[in-house]
Structures are given as structure tokens and as C-alpha cells.
Amino acid sequence: MHSKQSFESFCTTYNVKISNIRADNGIYAAQQFRQSCNQQQQSLTFCTVGGHWQNGISKRMIGKIQSNAHTITLLHAIAQWPACINQSFWPFAIHHRVNKHNYTQTSHDTRSPWELFTGEAPSRQLSEYKVIGCPVYILNKDLQDKPSSAKKWETRA
């Protein structure tokens, strides 16, 4: 219930009214969720059992986000920094890919999903996104103080 209320509050900020909800059975069939939909004058319909095609758009997007987070983000990070990247980075990779999707233009539209939903220009630009999981180097203080002390092929950070 808390996530539904938070989303509705976010929508209210941008004058978006949720009028229809299509959900899977389960927690969405609970009386508390149904009452909330009635109070907000939202129609609530359920997918049929095994009818995964009925919410295919959202399932396809979730799969795309997970695939991109895994293949592009985590595999790259593991290849660059295998001693430090592990499964605990998964939530960060998902969050990164969701933000990148929401704030950048799609191939078939000149506006980002954020802009389509809120009517506002995105607060982030594609150039601001960095590859997650890349090592960051800091200059060794001794090398900064005595630049001639480092040999040509030694690590300098």
C-alpha cells in the first residue's frame, strides 16, 4: 500500500491521474488494495492466470532493464575490476539502468519517458552518465610530492 500511495503522490505532483490499474493476482487482490482503488476512483482489473501476455509491455521492460544491468553494467565492471565487483552491486546496476532509461530519449521519440510522463525536461543528460563499476584512481601523494621518484611503468595511483 505504501508504494501505491507514494506513486499516487508523485503523480499528483505532475497533475497525472491514475484511472485504471491492471494487476497480477496476489497481493493486488487484497481487500486493502481494492479499497484504495475504490477510494481513488480507479478501475482495477486482473490478468488471467497464466496470461502473461496481458502485461507484456511492463514485463518486456523489466526484462530489458535486467538484461542491460547484467550484460552491460555488471559484466563490464567485473571485467574491469574483478576483485571488487560482486552480487551486492546488483541493486546499483538496476537503479542506474532505470534512471538511464527514464531520463534519455528513446529511439522512436524525441522525448524521454520522464518528459512524456511529467511534461518536464529531464534533470539529467546522457553525457552525465558514467559506466558503473569502473575503477577510480587517485594520485599517490608520494608521487605528487616527488614526481621523479616513479619509474616509467610502475603504478602511479
Structure confidence at residue 59 (pLDDT): 81
Instruction: Taking each helix axis as running N to C, give the angle between helix 31-39 and helix 2-13, from 0 to 180 degrees, rounded to the nearest 10.
Output: 20
Terminal Cα-to-Cα distance of the chain (whole angstroms): 49
Per the prediction, the chain carries an average pLDDT of 81
Collapsing DSSP states into helix, strand and coil, what is residue 2? helix
Q: To 5 degrees, how large is the angle CA 40–CA 50–CA 66?
A: 80
pTM: 0.65
46 in Cβ contact with 20 (< 8 Å): no
Distance of CA 31 to the CA centre of its chain: 30
pLDDT digits (tens, 9 = 90+) for 17-66: 999 998 887 788 889 999 999 999 999 988 877 776 777 778 888 888 88
Tell me, what DSSP letter sits at residue 67?
Answer: H
137: pLDDT confidence band, cut at 50, 70 and 90? Answer: low
